Amino acid sequence: MSTLNSLLSRSQQRTICSQLGTVKLKLLYKATVHGFTGAAFHQRCDNQSPTVSVGYNTSGYVFGGYTRKPFSQSGQWVNDDQAFLFSFTGGRLQKYPVTSAPYALLMDASTGPYFGNALIFVNGNSPVICSKPGNYYNFNATEMHGNDLNLTECEVYQVEETTELEKPWRTVIWESGKRNELMESIKTYKPTVSSVSQARVLLLGQVGAGKSSFFNSINSVFRGHVTSQAISGSSSTSLTTQFRTYSLKAGREGKPLPIVLCDTMGLEDSKGAGLDVDDISSILKGHMPDCYQFNPAAPLHAESQGFRKSPDLKDKIHCVAYVIDACKVSIMPEKLEEKLETIRRKVNLLGIPQLVLLTKVDEACPLVKEDLRNIYKSGYIKDLMQEVSTRVGVPLSCVVPVKNYNEELELDLSCDILLLSAVIQMLRFVDNYFDELSDRLSSARLND
């Protein structure tokens, strides 16, 4: 099954959604995947509404149309006084409202989205558009699509309401006193095993999910201002090329905190790219040295420089956190899911607890974008967390939403509380790891 990767950028999605209320877009149809045919379009999109249809041409133009009415193959004109066409010029949205509502759409079985004879996508089962300004929609063809009628892609999105629940389904105290309490709990934490002074948490995730940003964000909270130590940013390939162990400090000159966050190269869905599964085994077992340079073509082996042949418990991983972008849950590549399943099995065999950090929740849901304190009142985020739980194979209680610091210059109380709560969950899971280890050792002694 092919993966539906949205060609419409997040910025463009947010811009469109801002015209429609508190909504999100769900990709239904992608012509390069399902076919440039009317049949393929109708199979995926009939009876779905409202929708946003988007075309992309060989000249790089992005344009489309919105309708609140469901598509069908009736052959009839459909009245929609809310329909409009749009184009992106210079990053800005230009709207062209319907001028004759009774002829807003034609439900034609042989084409894709058909906006009032003015703009027709996938016309005659071919990757082209039919464009006739003035026929029920007024627009400048040169401005909209540069008079380039050759489609490289056509996408149709369903517009979904982001519902607000009556009451939060998890309890969070959004007060500065709570932030101080969480920080103090982290500072004073002590692993239950005397030979270990710092809990080691491994961050694993797809390229760009926010692993390095999570460390930077936690570091910022304890520094008292936004800072950036680990390399982070947006890129199609991993910006992290080494295995790094980051020890957090309680303030600029403070003592190291009792937790180490281990950052890795990003996971990729294609074979021979990104972090190798064999390297993950070496990290989990404590064999991999800090600053090891990853090589996807040749994983770490016993003869590699710096390889720890007899790692101590303090060198091993005590908890694994999968870092997943909330905006990409529904379009997670199948190969990546398979890779995560392989990793999860390895982690389970070693008895290491696992949780999920769901990042970029503010970008995924307008309700949360408006106010981070709506995180557990968002029906969409709850559904998303349940989907992550199923896809990764962990209980819902092991899925923790966070917002990293990316563009902010100052700290935010709500953001801090979510980040610190995630660290507290990690430490609780580390305790579970040590408790399980102690139980196994006790059982082994009894059997001797």
Q: Is 56 exposed, middle or buried (0-12, 13-18, 19+ CB in 10 A)?
A: buried
d(CA 38, CA 123): 8
Enter the tokens of residue 283. 């990290």
φ, ψ (nearest 5 deg) of residue 251: 95, 170
200 by DSSP, 3-state: which? strand
Domains of the chain: 10-161 (no CATH), 176-447 (3.40.50.300)
Q: Count CA atoms within 13 Å of residue 115 on its CB side.
A: 34
Measured in whole angstroms, the distance separating CA 385 from the mean position of its chain's CA atoms is 11
What angle separates helix 334-349 from helix 277-284, to the nearest 10 degrees? Answer: 30
Task: Specify whether the CB–CB gap between 232 and 323 falls below 8 A.
Answer: no
Q: Is 252 exposed, middle or buried (0-12, 13-18, 19+ CB in 10 A)?
A: exposed
Q: Supply the DSSP string of 85-145, one letter for each residue.
A: EEEEETTEEEEEEBSSGGGSEE--TTSS-EETTTEEESGGGSSBEEE-TTSSB---HHHHH
Q: How far is CA 426 from each of CA 148, 201, 203, 430, rounded to the nearest angstrom?
A: 53, 7, 11, 6
φ, ψ (nearest 5 deg) of residue 92: -105, 150
Per-residue confidence (pLDDT) for residue 14, from 0 to 100 = 80
φ, ψ (nearest 5 deg) of residue 259: -145, 135
Task: Specify whether the CB–CB gap between 118 and 85 falls below 8 A.
Answer: yes
d(CA 266, CA 403): 19
d(CA 161, CA 372): 18
d(CA 381, CA 422): 16
53 by DSSP, 3-state: which? strand
DSSP secondary structure letter of residue 267: B
Per-residue confidence (pLDDT) for residue 439, from 0 to 100 = 78
Q: What is the pTM of this model?
A: 0.72
d(CA 206, CA 29): 24
Residue 181, C-beta contacts closer than 8 angstroms, at least 6 positions apart: none
The whole-number mean pLDDT for each consecutive block of 10 residues of the chain, a chain of 448 residues, reads 72 85 89 94 96 96 97 96 92 91 95 93 88 89 93 95 88 96 96 93 90 93 86 50 86 88 82 74 90 78 85 95 88 80 92 96 89 94 91 93 93 97 98 88 65
**Which is nearest to 385 in space by CA: 168, 196, 88, 376?**
376
Q: Is 236 exposed, middle or buried (0-12, 13-18, 19+ CB in 10 A)?
A: exposed
**Which is nearest to 170 in space by CA: 373, 391, 414?**
373
